[in-house]
């Protein structure tokens, strides 16, 4: 596996987790980036298909038009 990419299994688990969501609204899901970053995404945002990740270090927000684009950019569940 290329060290700059995640396994297909982890990407599939990320899709399944972020679309299944048996999680309490208002909580967050932890994400990690293939280049070493860490972020969160709010469950309420996911329910509304708002794919905005918040960096856990500096609070910077990055929005994506779809779940697939978020994964393609390197984010998966942590």
Q: Pick from 70, 69, 15, 9: which is nearest to 37 by CA?
A: 70
What is the pLDDT, as a whole number, of residue 23? 60
pTM, entire model: 0.74
Residue 17 near residue 74, CB atoms below 8 Å:
no
Could you write out the three-class secondary structure of 27-58?
Answer: CEEEEEECCCCEEEEEHHHHHCCCEEEEECCC
Tell me which residues of the chain have a pLDDT lower than 50: 1-3
């Amino acid at each position: 596996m290329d060290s700059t990419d995640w396994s297909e299994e982890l990407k599939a688990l990320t899709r399944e987790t972020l679309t299944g969501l048996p999680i309490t609204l208002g909580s967050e899901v932890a994400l990690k980036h293939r280049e070493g970053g860490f972020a969160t995404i709010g469950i309420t945002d996911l329910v509304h298909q708002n794919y905005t990740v918040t960096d856990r270090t500096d609070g910077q927000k990055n929005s994506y038009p779809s779940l697939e684009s978020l994964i393609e950019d390197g984010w998966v569940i942590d």
